[in-house]
Amino acid sequence: MSNVNLERRIKRQAWFPEHRFFAVTAPGLEALCAAELTALGAGEVQPETGGVNFSAKLELAVAANLWLRTAGRVWLRLKDFRVRLWEDLTRQAEAVPWEVFLAPGAPLNIQVALKGSNLKHTGRIAEVVGRAAAQRLREVGLAPPVPSEPGDENAQRLQVRGNDRRASISLDMSGAHLHKRGWRAQGGLAPLREDLAAALLMLCGYDGREPLLDPMCGSGTLVIEAASLSRGLPPGRGRSFAFESWPCHREAAWNYLKRHTLEQALAAPAAPILGRDSNREAVALAQGNAELAGVGQGVDLEAGDFFTAAPPAGPGLLVMNPPYGKRLGSVRQAQDLARRIGQRLTQAYGGWRCGVVLYRPEWAEALGLSETTAITAPFGGLHVTLLFGTVPQK
């Protein structure tokens, strides 16, 4: 087959039809991610535990990788099928147009996950699928993929899942986890993951048009996410993605999309964003991270103690990720901090809306917020509660 005909077929099979995708999220964030996908224009958006199924053309899925704030990864569903015998897996794997999505000679990491499947032997499953991909690329005159080396972060991830009598073959579009925005130089002590920071802001209904304060900003994750959201900047603007190595990738269209989104973004947040921390080194770290993220001019950062510093002009939205664990010592000390935070909110921030990351859900009562809503999500081996409410007026 000539190179021209192959390129035309690749583009036709990739970009014209609708495909099925699965956006992975931390459990608890599915509804927020589903709302993001619906706003982007995805079809058949169906949340389930651990993620969101949706349908779209490849162009929209590429944009989803750039824009999704609460997702961790986007998988392209190459095949979803009923399986009774090994021959079913072989037949479906051989029917995948591998030349459309796998770069010739690229390292391939095949992951297999089984749950009550009538397919057994994960090693054999990976071998069958890998062999089918290699055979297809050889048939069209291309170098077959090679098994990836352990720990190769640049390898293309392929996932085979078996559940009861169904199986699926999916290809990773994202590469590194989507919470890795590409700007963090240092995280400081226990930095909040970016997707959880975005989830807290979204839970609070933050749209960038009200003053925002993070009085315990640490390395700056919350204020940086807020500045990006307020300005309409895509969270993936500073990183690369796995789909950029696919043969079907449209480099010119991708560059135009990134350039267009940056041109449409606001030059500065629509309302003030202020980060404070009692630790001057943390403030300097947050400033450096904000510069790397391209929002240094839109975020004010200063040293200040939440319990003594005067509130900025408001009311607005106050968000915080208070210290926890070894940074505090005993559970009693952590409970005391929650109580002191609640007292300070009541004393100085009446009428402010408030979003807090809690590492013990029972501490929510100590904050004294009204009209609260909450979601729970895993983080760092724990489950954290993202709590939103309003500080009552005195």
Q: Summarize pLDDT for 168-181 with one digit per residue, the tens.
A: 999 999 999 999 99
- For residue 226, the model assigns a pLDDT of 98
Question: Which architecture, in CATH terms, is 194-233+264-390?
Answer: 3-Layer(aba) Sandwich (3.40)
Q: Please indicate, yes or no, whether the overall pTM of this predicted structure exceeds 0.75.
A: yes
Of 286, 297, 291, 393, the closest CA to residue 349 belongs to 393
Cα–Cα distance list, 331 to 181, 297, 386 (Å): 33, 39, 19
Category of 164 on φ-ψ map: left (φ > 0), alpha (ψ -120 to 50) or beta:
left
pLDDT band at 311 (very low <50, low <70, confident <90, very high): very high
- What are 36-49's pLDDT values in tens digits? 999 999 999 999 99
Query: Nearest-CA neighbor of 321 among 233, 225, 231, 200?
Result: 200
Q: How far does the chain reach from its first CA to its final CA, in angstroms? A: 77
Long-range contacts of 360-367, Cβ-Cβ distance < 8 Å, separation of 24 or more: 360/331, 360/334, 360/335, 361/385, 363/334, 363/335, 363/338, 366/335, 366/338, 366/339, 366/341, 366/342, 367/338, 367/341, 367/342
For the stretch 198-256, pLDDT in tens is: 999 999 999 999 999 999 999 999 999 999 999 999 999 999 999 999 999 999 999 99
Tokens representing 247 are 């043969």
**What's the CATH number for 3-172?**
3.30.2130.30
pLDDT at 328: 52
Q: Is 296 exposed, middle or buried (0-12, 13-18, 19+ CB in 10 A)?
A: middle
Cα–Cα distances in Å, from 365 out to 189, 328, 329, 389?
26, 19, 21, 11
Residue 313: burial class (beta carbons within 10 Å; 0-12, 13-18, 19+): exposed
Per-residue three-class SS string for 188-201: CCCCCCHHHHHHHH
- Please give the share of the chain, as a percent, with pLDDT higher than 90: 81
The tokens of 181 are what? 């925005």
Q: Which helix (H) or strand (E) holds 363?
A: none
Q: Comparing 3-172 with 194-233+264-390, is the CATH topology the same? A: no
DSSP class of residue 245? Answer: G
Asked whether residue 329 carries a pLDDT value surpassing 80, the answer given is no
pLDDT tens column, 90-115: 999 999 999 999 999 999 999 999 99
Alpha-helical runs (H) found in the chain: 3-15, 30-40, 58-67, 86-94, 98-101, 122-139, 194-203, 221-231, 251-264, 280-292, 331-348, 364-367
Structural domain boundaries of the chain? Answer: 3-172, 194-233+264-390
Residue 55 bridge partners (DSSP): 20, 43
Average pLDDT over residues 58-84: 97
Segment 130-138 mean pLDDT: 97
* Residues pairing with 159 in the sheet: 111, 170
* Local structure of 327: helix, strand or coil: helix
Q: How far apart are CA 320 and CA 333, in angstroms?
A: 18
